[in-house]
Chains A and B, each alone.
Chain A
């Protein structure tokens, strides 16, 4: 064995392995292992038809509808808008015509593309994965390099199984220490974005490291990598470890037998080498992180559940003051109020950020034996048909239904609302999703981002609430 040369990061090891060629301007053509295709991709297939191009490697792709599907049934006819219906129908037609595996609404494995990739074992360490969706960063939690692409790039990947990229910079975010009880992966990533800002990682690939990250379950890691894009990062990654291998073992698309042994041996070479340097380093102390919620219209507007809203009068910078005033107005909030004084109308537990089985267990633990406040309409939308089945096998559906939650079918649902699952203008939603942008959940909607436990506690209380305090309040 030759001695190790220059130390490399996890990202660099995967990058180098996938480099096909370099253009004179420094951009590199990268080989794509796995292309995940969702139902926003109809315009990409239209581009391919216009140019009479076909899929180069259909076996390296899979498609599933998640955005444009109803969550009150598994029948596309329940979508009111024919143009929306056409998006999901096009995906089935286009993938079948191209010979790409398709998981439709009648297939229990269907779900949010970023939930089913890991679930099926399509997502694995060392792979380069893309999808025409910005939350593709999710898959980095298993040690893959995964990033979102646009429509033209989807067409490019289908036709060539490759993509041009400029090599991003690297950033390591280290979270060391022990998390306090009731603090989850969602709280960590909201604390990170609050610290570095919504543009804090633009042009970078983040590697999350440190004992608090290693101690998280795979699902907690998926939540963290999922929101890397909300800090502007090209991708988010976590080094594979024994938890990763245990998670993947036996999954339908994971290697088996002798191939599994070879795969694990390779995966063990992937973690960043000791002494390697990153372009940027950020550190957080786990014990200082509290349950986090957003109050404004950027994911960076996250504060501790026990904190008060900012008061524009206290902000010296006139531009920032104007931004805060505009957000408080849009959100219908009073400067300086406490988060638990903010009453809510809707609760959404779901999305590619927080719709996995551990998320549902965490919300159910709060909801068990309690009732959703009369003024609140609360939904639970599992991330896949298999998550739904698992939750039902554990009786979580009954806990939710008895508490007054709606128990729905898998899909992106109210995170983006393009299937009609939306929040009415002026209404306020406690959501476990990833974006609190103006109008994200519907025109005029008001979104607060939080963990599943916090969302469940808020549903019970009828206002934004600290799940840790719920026992005391209701006792």
Chain B
């Protein structure tokens, strides 16, 4: 996992709630090996027509947003399927952080394991940011994970919460599985006791 660096980048406003992982990456791309550029599949059916021509009505098709590294969306972003490919698609496209009032639980967890920072802000703050980003395409949002602050146009600096361990993993690129393996003895001890009483 790549360490999360301070971010100051164009933000993409997705003024929609319940953006499910089927929207983020349609299921027909899930069988692709990880070596593929999953960024090509990001919002595939929102960005492109069946004949692969661009859909100009989708916000990411507008040139002012094409270099976006932050996504701002309404509630329940990443709901639905557990597919980690949704995170890979955002990551490979170059998205480093997603800001929303709430996230699908599994999407949130998957994000942290791939260097993508999910940030929960209050709904009214998100609405204000969305309105500004939509009115003035190409504005930037900055994210300082060390200090846990988002700076976005038209709102005061926003502190955000993140679990300290997840923050540490993101900042250092440390992998959770490596950390767990350092506790292999505790798992083994637990399993011995648990299995002795199993039926």
A residues adjacent to B (C-beta < 8 A): 20-21, 23-27, 29, 31, 40, 42-43, 46, 51, 53, 56-57, 68, 81, 83-84, 86-87, 132-134, 148-153, 155-156, 159-162, 164, 166, 168, 198-199, 202-203, 229-230, 232, 234, 255, 259-260, 262-263, 266, 298, 300, 319, 323, 416-418, 425, 435, 437-440, 443-444
Task: Count residues of chain B with CB under 8 A from any CB of chain A.
Answer: 52
The 8 A CB mask of B5-25 against A (1 = contact, 0 = none) is 000000000011110101100
Nearest CB of chain B from residue A374's CB, rounded to whole Å? 28
- Chain B stretch 91-138: residues in CB contact (< 8 A) with chain A: 102-106, 109-110, 113-114
Chain A hits for B82, CB < 8 A: 132-134, 148-150
B196 at the interface (CB under 8 A from A): no
Q: Which of B28, B34, B76 contacts A46 (CB 8 A)?
A: B34
Chain A hits for B156, CB < 8 A: none
The 8 A CB mask of B66-101 against A (1 = contact, 0 = none) is 000000000110011111110100000000000000
Query: A438-B22, A443-B26 are known contacts; what are 15 more A-B pairs with Cβ within 8 Å?
Result: A21-B183, A25-B166, A26-B163, A31-B194, A53-B177, A56-B187, A134-B80, A149-B82, A150-B110, A152-B110, A198-B18, A202-B104, A255-B199, A439-B45, A443-B50
The answer to whether A160 touches B177 (Cβ under 8 A) is yes
The answer to whether B163 touches A51 (Cβ under 8 A) is no
B53 at the interface (CB under 8 A from A): no
Nearest CB of chain A from residue B190's CB, rounded to whole Å? 5
The answer to whether B105 touches A202 (Cβ under 8 A) is yes
Q: Which of B75, B84, B190, B194 contacts A151 (CB 8 A)?
A: B84
Q: Which of B18, B28, B180 contacts A418 (CB 8 A)?
A: B28
The answer to whether A150 touches B113 (Cβ under 8 A) is yes
User: In the complex, A97→B161 CA distance in Å?
Assistant: 42
- How many A-B pairs have beta carbons closer than 8 Å: the answer is 162
The answer to whether A156 touches B199 (Cβ under 8 A) is no
The answer to whether B30 touches A40 (Cβ under 8 A) is yes
User: In the complex, A156→B15 CA distance in Å?
Assistant: 35
Chain A hits for B27, CB < 8 A: 416-418, 440
CB-nearest residue of chain B relative to A134? B82
Given contacts A161-B187, A440-B22, contact A232 B34 (CB under 8 A): no
Q: Which of A20, A86, A262, A300 contacts B187 (CB 8 A)?
A: A20
User: In the complex, A87→B33 CA distance in Å?
Assistant: 10
Nearest CB of chain A from residue B79's CB, rounded to whole Å? 6
Chain B hits for A438, CB < 8 A: 22-23, 45
The answer to whether B104 touches A232 (Cβ under 8 A) is yes
The answer to whether A425 touches B32 (Cβ under 8 A) is no
The answer to whether B34 touches A24 (Cβ under 8 A) is no
The answer to whether B187 touches A162 (Cβ under 8 A) is yes
- Chain B stretch 131-174: residues in CB contact (< 8 A) with chain A: 163-166
Q: Which of A134, A162, A300, A440 contacts B180 (CB 8 A)?
A: A162
Given contacts A160-B181, A255-B199, contact A29 B187 (CB under 8 A): yes
7 residue pairs A–B, Cβ–Cβ below 8 Å: A24-B165, A42-B33, A152-B84, A202-B103, A266-B199, A319-B15, A417-B27
The answer to whether B22 touches A435 (Cβ under 8 A) is yes
User: In the complex, A7→B68 CA distance in Å?
Assistant: 50
CB-nearest residue of chain A relative to B1? A152
Chain A hits for B113, CB < 8 A: 150, 152-153
Nearest CB of chain B from residue A424's CB, rounded to whole Å? 11
Residue among B30, B45, B166, B183 facing the most chain A CB atoms (10 A cut-off): B30
Nearest CB of chain B from residue A177's CB, rounded to whole Å? 30
- Chain B stretch 39-81: residues in CB contact (< 8 A) with chain A: 45, 50, 75-76, 79-81
The answer to whether B18 touches A166 (Cβ under 8 A) is no
Nearest CB of chain B from residue A54's CB, rounded to whole Å? 12
CB-nearest residue of chain B relative to A298? B18
Chain B hits for A51, CB < 8 A: 177
User: In the complex, A283→B146 CA distance in Å?
Assistant: 43
The answer to whether A417 touches B166 (Cβ under 8 A) is no
User: In the complex, A161→B195 CA distance in Å?
Assistant: 13
Given contacts A31-B194, A152-B113, A199-B18, contact A160 B187 (CB under 8 A): yes
User: In the complex, A230→B18 CA distance in Å?
Assistant: 10
